[in-house]
Structure 1
Amino acid sequence: MKVPRALRLLAQLPNVRHSSSGVSKPLATYTKHFEEISIPVPWGHISGKWYGPKHVRPIVGMHGWQDNAGTFDTLAPLLPSHLSFLSIDAPGHGLSSWLPAGTSYHSIDLVLIIRRLMDDYNWDKISILGHSMSSINGFVYSALFPDKVDLFIGLDVLKPPIRSARSIVNGLTERLEGTLKLERRLKSGSEPPAYDWDQLVTRLHEGSNKSVSLDACKYLLQRNCKPSTHEPHKYYFSRDNRLKTSLFYTLHLDVALEMANRIKCPHLFIKALQAPYYEKKEYYDATLVELRKNPLFEFFEVEGSHHVHLNEPEKVAPIINSFINKYRPL
């Protein structure tokens, strides 16, 4: 039997564990069997990790910006065993295909990915568990297609953040210029900078504003790095660098509130208290008011960083499981 690419890569990575607390959990603590899958899309494929029986429609896990399917490695084994769970890599992330040269990444494309998944598997409904960027996209999808979502769980980022007009215009200028610079760099075909394992872990940890703990970095790096071809024992980040200049939603608050009003499915949102709000809190609070009009909306706050679901899954798993068992029981 052919060994999946992710497992071949994992075998090449050093078995190093770090912990900011000085206490490191064994890898086996968060081990559960999964199958690597590949879903065809017009430009290549979407990769994913399928936990549980294939005949059961899964809850679809979707990760944050520049993360990958590994973001749910520690949470997946704690989810209800009667359901399947499918954690996917977004385009340009993890083991999924990059978008074609000359194109740019935009947040709305990830909403369309959800529809592509449903079409490929012939699902009438979808259950979504999204973190950060994908919590935003789950919010948007649940508003645009309220009859197609039977359950939505958002982690830490509630909705598309609202920005000032000046910030939107300046951001578009910077990102479009950045896209062209990255394209010129990619034309050279040169390998990205390589680092030894400890440096790679430190760069990921600090690049996340220390949200991803040192110990948890290994779960993301399994699908986010490759061994250097000309620097022995070093690795480079293998995600598409064009993700750094991704284009995101630029919505007016009234649009976000209208979206919140249209979400009718069971909706759970969990906010990490040590994470920022990424916008003025008044916009966040106004949206919560609208969401609470949905009798199936549930809201919780937990202690932890933006990646609390990865670092300390036991803090969110009981909340998530109670919600799932209520709306997708045996």
Structure 2
Amino acid sequence: MTEVLEQTAYRVKAGEIFGQQRRPVGVEPVKRVLLLHGWQDNSNSYVNLIPLLPKNWWIVAIDWPGHGHSSPRGPGAAYHITDWLVDLREVVNVLQWQKFTLIGHSMGAGVALMYGALFPEEVEAVVALDVIKQLSEPAGTTHKVLRNAIMTLADHNQKTVAPQKPEIMSKNQVEQWWHGQSKAFMNEQSAAKILERGMRQNSGTTADEHLINRDSRLTFPPLFRMHLDQHRNVLKELKCDLLIIKAAGAQNYESPEVEKEFKDMYQKNCSHFAYIVVDGLHHVHLDRPETVAPVIVDFLEHRPIKNSH
């Protein structure tokens, strides 16, 4: 079951960040919750989960810049992992929230963990879906990765000095492309949900001409990625309540040694910490929200809950 959510827009320095929200009517919310989607997704990542969360929570799900309905970065710009933190900070400032909870999936979970460590006076709790931390730059790869990233972006910028014709496809072609890209991460119904906000009609025509609602620069190699020691230095300052939900059917993004190190650090430093494994793929919160929602609600409203491994 999905709900009709209120469409929102937040004016920030780089343009507009769009989103969807459900706000309690006539009562003060008992909890304010920001939902942060993963790389190349959009806020529809949470449309199946939101109806299962308490009605007295004020819930806002945003589209990151370059995703969904939000503005892309400006001409010549790149997407840096640290920029998402600035985007989140600006949305929080517009909302004027003093205390809130962050629920993030994949890339969004990595951002939530970092933000909670950097701004502990604001973040009451973090829920990280299928991520232990942001991906770190592998040791010894900086020269190769940076060279490739610079060449890719510079080549793109050179090609876009003159306006480029966007890639236009039929709706069926877009759907087939997207399902092929996403089948390892979510089921077909979930992919369709993401695509509802991730595809748009070509403006000025009623023909079957559609475009992907996503900045192609998101697929470029990163100009900057933090090293493991930098993640250690920042995330040791995460002190709020933390719940990590791991999807059993998803790939592991960290080595067993790194995963154990950060789980041990969270256990030591966070006010409450729980690590729960549930059956499902990487987008388990979208595929099987009835499995994920009770765990989130139980932790955020009652904690602690029993760990699983």
TM-score between both structures, scaled by the size of structure 1: 0.83
> Is residue 114–residue 234 contact of structure 2 (8 Å, CA) maintained in 1?
yes
Task: Find the counterpart in structure 2 of residue 43 from structure 1.
Answer: 14
Whole-angstrom CA distance in 1 between matches of 2:73 and 2:181: 23
Contact 1:153 1:268 in 2 (8 A): yes
Comparing 239-248 with 116-125, greater Cα deviation is found at 239-248
Q: 1:221 to 1:186 in 2, by over 3 A?
A: farther
Tell me what 1:178 maps to.
152
Find 1:126's aligned residue among 90, 96, 100: 100
- SS in structure 1 of the partner of residue 245 of structure 2: strand
SS across alignment from 2:82: helix
Distance in 2 of aligned mates of 1:191 and 1:129: 37
**1:186 to 1:79, Cα distance in 2 relative to 1, 3 A:** farther
| Kept in 2: contact 1:162–1:283 (CA 8 A) | no
1:1-330 → structure 2 map (5 Å cutoff):
29=1, 31-53=2-24, 56=29, 58-208=32-182, 210-228=184-202, 232-245=207-220, 247=222, 250-293=225-268, 294-326=270-302
- 1:253–1:283: 8 Å Cα contact kept in structure 2? no
Structure 1: gaps of 5 or more residues = 1-28
Secondary structure, counterpart of 1:215 in structure 2: helix
Which ranges of structure 2 fall in alignment gaps of 5 or more residues?
304-309
- Relative distance call for 1:182 and 1:156 in structure 2 (3 A) is same
Distance 2:221 2:91 in 1: 22
Query: C-alpha displacement at 1:153, in angstroms?
Result: 0.6
Partner amino acid for 1:163? Answer: E
Worse-matched range after superposition: 138-147 or 180-189: 180-189
Question: 8 Å contact 1:118–1:125 — kept in the other structure?
Answer: no
Any conservation in 2 of the 1:162–1:252 contact (CA below 8 Å)?
A: yes
Q: How high is the sequence identity, in percent, across the aligned residues?
A: 30
Question: Structure 2: how far apart are the matches of 1:232 and 1:172?
Answer: 42
CA distance in 2, matches of 1:325, 1:164: 38
Aligned AA (1:98): P
The 1:137–1:171 alpha-carbon spacing in structure 2 relative to 1, beyond 3 Å, is: same
CA RMSD of aligned residues (A): 2.1
Change (3 A) 1:98 1:252: closer
